[in-house]
C-alpha cells in the first residue's frame, strides 16, 4: 500500500492544510469529523502518491517549508 501527500482546502477558513497518510479517505473524514483544524468542510485539492512513508514525509516537509500560499495554489492549479 502506498502513501499519499495531500493538500486540503477549507472555504470556511480560507486555508490550505498539507499532510501525508496511508489512507486518504479515512484521513479526510477524520479532519472533517473532529474539526481539529477549526472547520468541517475540508476538500481534497491536490495529491501525490509515494511508495514509502519516508518519501511521503520528505515531500510533505518540502511543501510545508515553502510556507507560501502561492506555492500551494500553483501545485493545485497543475492538477
- 69 or 1: which carries more pLDDT confidence? 69
- Residue 9: band (very low, low, confident or very high) from pLDDT cuts 50, 70, 90: very high
pLDDT digits (tens, 9 = 90+) for 14-62: 999 999 999 999 999 988 886 667 788 999 999 999 999 999 999 999 9
Q: What's the grid cell of residue 20?
A: 501525508
Q: Is a pLDDT exceeding 90 seen at residue 71? A: no
Say if pTM beats, i.e. exceeds, 0.85.
yes
Residue ranges of domains in the chain, CATH in brackets: 3-78 (3.40.1440.10)
Give kind and range of the element (H or E) at residue 10: strand 3-10
Q: Which ranges of 35-68 does DSSP label H, i.e. alpha helix? A: 53-66
Amino acid at each position: 500500500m502506498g502513501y499519499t501527500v495531500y493538500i486540503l482546502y477549507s472555504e470556511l477558513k480560507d486555508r490550505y492544510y498539507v499532510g501525508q497518510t496511508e489512507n486518504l479517505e479515512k484521513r479526510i473524514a477524520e479532519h472533517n469529523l473532529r474539526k481539529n483544524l477549526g472547520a468541517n468542510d475540508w476538500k481534497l485539492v491536490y495529491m501525490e502518491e509515494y511508495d514509502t512513508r519516508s518519501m511521503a514525509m520528505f515531500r510533505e516537509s518540502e511543501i510545508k517549508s515553502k510556507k507560501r500560499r502561492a506555492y500551494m495554489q500553483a501545485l493545485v492549479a497543475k492538477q
